[in-house]
């Protein structure tokens, strides 16, 4: 894997040098035409959202609207690389060869601050006036402020919630989603007694659905700061979470050990399981006819007040960053577009038309909320009402620990290691 990434970086470097790909450090290009007359400032925005997807089409709608309003002054051009890992490597390579993109988004991980530490990103702090600051949660701005600089603007931070099939629940005589983990495991027993597999899990790739469950369990046992940097993972809350995750694997499909995302999610989509823990992107895969039969809910707690009822976990921050600009005029144009992109109207367009949940605050009428659809509307409401949240564990660990997690979960489920050994080995991998 390291060899492949190295060659990818070399190839991208060669392409960038040969083509003279423009970035934040060559910002005067495109600002003047051949006759020397002023022309629109051109800003290149890198994205992985292709326009044949809901989110990509919604983003293009916002960009087209901005370009129309600023015709002759500023023009946003989009460079799309649909494959996310390739896109991320492309950005890192461009930064390393001093061709930092004008605008780009990425997965924020506090254990990988290579972008922020490059010294090549624009600090938005001087432009963060009260009106723009009010668009975001203060905690989001604080999380993305590194070494006193706000080089990333909060954008996407989707909730990860429990989906449940109301029809399957009804078959088992269950009338509501459980509030505590004791109630949750009792529900699993009821479902199994009715011949229904309770929950979809997986251990391949990043073990996404299993690590979602583990994150809810660990937070429930240790609080929403359980994974805070500097804290050891070899702690009682992680051990308790591991013990309960092992128990949870008793209520999943026979192929869960070794299954990937497609297998796990398809079991829920096809009605083979009653529950799954996932983000709003799953909605687009559901049969329209079953939409009214699906509910979503925040995770259970242990009922001891460690976390408030209704707390949620989220996917990682996926913010926007910008390269430093030699031209003050272009820098201000970048900021102006970012303010437009994170405005309430743009956020509403991206939410309703793109089915994505964003960090900027959303002021939406009840009628607009209802028009978003029965499931997305629930996501919006639960996310907005959540009294606390934390980022899913596999998004904040060091890469060695992220890679180790799937095999540790399998070993735990197969009873090859104890919950105590799970916690100790996870901590060792994260050092």
pLDDT at residue 1 in the model:
36
Task: Fold for 2-151+318-358, please state it.
Answer: D-Maltodextrin-Binding Protein; domain 2 (3.40.190)
- pLDDT tens digit sequence for 67-112: 999 999 999 999 999 887 789 889 999 999 999 999 999 989 887 8
- pLDDT tens digit sequence for 191-247: 999 999 999 999 998 899 999 999 999 999 999 999 988 899 999 999 999 999 999
Give the confidence band of 380 by pLDDT, cuts at 50, 70, 90. confident
pLDDT at residue 38 in the model:
62
Say if residues 48 and 55 touch (Cβ distance below 8 Å): no
Other C-beta atoms closer than 10 Å to the C-beta of 117 total 12
User: Looking at 41-50, 285-294, 413-422, which range is the least confident one?
Assistant: 285-294
| Higher-confidence position of 184 and 140 | 184
Cβ contacts of 308 within 8 Å, gap of 6 or more: 301, 387, 388
Q: How far is CA 23 from the centre of its chain?
A: 26
Q: Cα angle at 358 between 382 and 346, to 5 degrees?
A: 125
pLDDT at residue 33 in the model:
41
State the span(s) of the chain assigned CATH 3.40.190.10: 2-151+318-358, 159-314+388-429
Other C-beta atoms closer than 10 Å to the C-beta of 365 total 9
- pLDDT tens digit sequence for 175-192: 999 999 999 999 999 999
Say if residues 209 and 330 touch (Cβ distance below 8 Å): no
Three-state SS across 219-282?
HHHHCCCCCCCCCCCCCHHHHHHHHHHHHHHHHCCCCCCCCCHHHHHHHHHCCCEEEEEECHHH
> E strand or H helix at 314, and its extent?
strand 312-314
pLDDT at residue 39 in the model:
87
pLDDT at residue 8 in the model:
47
Give the confidence band of 369 by pLDDT, cuts at 50, 70, 90. confident
Average pLDDT over all residues of the chain: 89
Cβ contacts of 27 within 8 Å, gap of 6 or more: 102, 325, 326, 327, 330, 331
Mean pLDDT across 371-379: 85
* Strand, coil or helix: 414: coil
Mean pLDDT across 276-299: 92
Q: Which of 1, 111, 92, 48 is nearest to 394 (CA)?
A: 111
Task: Fold for 159-314+388-429, please state it.
Answer: D-Maltodextrin-Binding Protein; domain 2 (3.40.190)
- pLDDT tens digit sequence for 14-57: 444 434 444 444 333 444 444 444 689 999 999 999 998 888 99
Mean pLDDT across 291-305: 96
Cβ contacts of 423 within 8 Å, gap of 6 or more: 233, 234, 235, 238, 239, 242
> E strand or H helix at 405, and its extent?
helix 399-413
Other C-beta atoms closer than 10 Å to the C-beta of 331 total 21
Mean pLDDT across 146-155: 96
The Cα–Cα gap between 264 and 272 comes to: 10
The Cα–Cα gap between 229 and 221 comes to: 17
């Amino acid at each position: 894997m390291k060899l492949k990434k190295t060659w990818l970086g070399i190839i991208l470097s060669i392409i960038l040098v040969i083509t003279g790909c423009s970035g934040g450090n060559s910002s005067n290009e495109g600002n003047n035409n051949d006759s020397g007359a002023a022309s629109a400032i051109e800003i290149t925005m890198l994205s992985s959202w292709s326009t044949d997807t809901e989110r990509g089409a919604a983003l293009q709608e916002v960009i087209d609207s901005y370009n129309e309003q600023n015709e002759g002054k500023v023009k946003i051009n989009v460079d799309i690389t649909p494959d996310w890992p390739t896109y991320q490597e492309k950005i890192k390579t461009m930064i390393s060869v001093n061709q930092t993109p004008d605008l780009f988004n990425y997965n924020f991980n506090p254990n990988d601050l290579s972008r922020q530490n490059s010294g090549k990103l624009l600090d938005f702090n001087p432009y963060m006036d009260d009106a723009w600051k009010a668009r975001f949660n203060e905690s989001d701005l604080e999380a993305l402020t590194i070494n006193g600089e706000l080089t990333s603007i909060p954008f996407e931070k989707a909730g990860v919630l429990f989906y449940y099939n109301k029809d399957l629940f009804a078959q088992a005589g269950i009338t509501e989603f459980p509030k505590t983990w004791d109630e949750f495991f009792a529900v699993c027993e009821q479902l199994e007694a009715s011949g229904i597999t309770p929950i979809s899990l997986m251990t391949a790739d990043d073990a996404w659905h299993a690590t979602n469950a583990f994150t809810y369990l660990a937070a429930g046992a240790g609080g929403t700061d359980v994974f805070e940097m500097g804290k050891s993972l070899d702690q009682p809350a992680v051990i308790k979470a591991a013990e309960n995750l092992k128990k949870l694997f008793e209520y999943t499909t026979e192929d869960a050990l070794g299954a990937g995302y497609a297998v796990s999610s398809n079991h829920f989509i096809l009605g083979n399981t009653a529950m799954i823990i996932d983000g709003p992107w799953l909605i687009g895969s559901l049969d329209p006819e079953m939409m009214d039969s699906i509910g979503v809910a925040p995770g259970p707690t242990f009922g001891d007040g460690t976390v408030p009822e209704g707390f949620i976990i989220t996917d990682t921050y996926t913010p926007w960053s910008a390269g430093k600009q030699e031209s003050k005029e272009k820098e201000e144009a970048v900021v102006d577009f970012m303010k437009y992109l994170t405005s309430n109207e743009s956020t509403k367009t991206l939410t309703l038309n793109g089915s994505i949940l964003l960090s900027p605050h959303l002021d939406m009428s009840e009628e607009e909320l209802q028009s978003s659809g029965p499931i997305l509307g629930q996501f919006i409401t639960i996310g907005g009402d959540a009294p606390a949240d934390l980022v899913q564990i596999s998004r904040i660990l060091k890469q060695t620990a992220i890679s180790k997690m799937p095999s540790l979960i399998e070993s735990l489920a197969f009873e090859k290691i104890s919950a105590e050994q799970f916690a100790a080995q996870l901590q060792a991998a994260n050092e």
